Structure 1
Amino acid sequence: MYDIERALQSFHSMKLDDIMPPIASMPVVTVDTSVLTVLKILRTRHHVWVVEDRESMRLKGVIRYLDVIDILLPPEAYKFKLGMTSRSLRSILGGAEKAIDVAERDVLTIERDSTVLDALLKMRRYRAQVLAVVDGDRLVGEVSLRLLINEFLRLLRVGDVKWTRHGSSSQSESP
């Protein structure tokens, strides 16, 4: 009998390489992309990956939706005493012009041959909703919590399992 526990075991052992979306569908810009172009992308996306160039795809950073606050604030909005902070320099008025100027360079990554379980554990540890999938220093994909939820639900439909009121699983009935 195919049940929720078996579905979870299958789900946890899936390779990220097998479920991540094509790179062409991901929000990716190069280091020299203008901040205004990045803002246009962030109107409909939660993040943008910043790569050195489209050929090498070397990951250089990420710009998240919430980073827009720093981009739009004036440098004087930051209370500091010992000179400019890196956050204030991310502001357009602080001199930020290109994607690399506003990108967070400390990106959470996971190797492409990792499993869903590896990704979930890393997401929980760092309270992250998305990870860059890399092959060395090259961006090859992404894995998000939304993708994992969709993949798990797809797996349940394929396995013909449904949730019951009591939190257990059972075979769904055919009409």
Structure 2
Amino acid sequence: MSEVEKALQTFHSLKVKQVMPPLASMPIVTKDSPVVDVLKLLRTRHHVWVVNNRDDMKLEGVIRYINIVDVLLPPELQKARLGNISHLFKSILGGADRAEHVMERNVLTINEDASVLEALTKMKRYKVPLLAIIDENGKLVGEISLRILVNEFMRLMRIGGAQWSQSGSSSQSE
């Protein structure tokens, strides 16, 4: 077995709680936080987690950078579709003033004891680069992203001394 294969095998067997960043470094607001606070965080982040309160940390939703378009547009420029008018009410001009008004409620989660392989499989299945990590009580304890996973795999490669050699590269020297 090659060094790269060994690194991948080790990587896949890690628990997501072993590679997740500290909770203090995550962008988190409570559901009653002003939308302005969310926007401040989104200036430097791609998402913000929404919890019920700082004590319980029960995951309520997520606000993604891309969804802020709905918040900034006036309601009359939103296209209402039959059965889906919720995005009309996400506009600041439509009355959205707290995080709970603009968050996505259906958040993809994974248990803190799940493996990296399980996280990667879920990301692929649902075509998402980010999962909330929760404990058995639905408490937000971390996050795992494709970027975090790539960084961890590269760290394992350096520690193990594995060299990545890509055959068939267009930059081969002869």
Question: Which amino acid in the other structure matches residue 116 of structure 2?
Answer: V
The answer to whether 1:62 aligns with 2:62 is yes
Compare the two structures and name the one with the higher strand fraction: 1
Match of 2:41 in 1: 41
Q: CA deviation at 1:163?
A: 1.3
The answer as to 2:151 corresponding to 1:150 is yes
Residue type of the alignment partner of 2:129:
Q
TM-score (norm 2): 0.92
Structure 1: where are the runs of 5+ without partners? 168-175
2:117 aligns with 117
Residue pair 1:15, 1:114 contacting (<8 A) in 2 also: yes
Unpaired runs of 5+ residues, structure 2, are: 169-174
Distance 1:150 1:85, change over 3 A: same
Aligned-partner Cα distance in 2 for 1:143–1:41:
18
Please provide the CA RMSD for this pair.
1.6
User: What is the CA–CA distance in structure 1 between the aligned matches of 2:36 and 2:67, rounded to whole Å?
Assistant: 13
SS of residue in 2 equivalent to 1:8 = helix
Shift of 1:162: 1.1
Per-residue deviation at 1:138? 0.5
After TM superposition, the structure 1 = structure 2 runs for residues 18-167 of structure 1, keeping only pairs within 5 Å, are 18-80=18-80, 85-135=85-135, 136-166=137-167
The CA distance in 2 between the partners of 1:47 and 1:110, in whole Å, is 17
Question: For residue 171 of structure 2, what is the aligned residue in structure 1?
Answer: none
Task: Quote how far apart the aligned CAs of 1:78 are.
Answer: 1.9
Query: Is the CA contact (8 Å cut-off) linking 1:21 and 1:142 kept in structure 2?
Result: yes
Structure 1 residue 164: Cα displacement: 1.8
TM (normalized to structure 1)? 0.91
Displacement, 1:85?
A: 1.0
Q: Helix, strand or coil: the match of 1:11?
A: helix
Moved over 6 A (4+): 81-84
Structure 1 residue 13: deviation in Å? 0.4
Q: Deviations over 1:134-169 (max 9, x none)?
A: 0131000000000000000000000001112417xx
Question: Which stretch of the first structure deviates more once superposed, 157-166 or 75-84?
Answer: 75-84
Residue identity over aligned pairs, in percent, reads: 56
Equivalent pairs, count = 167
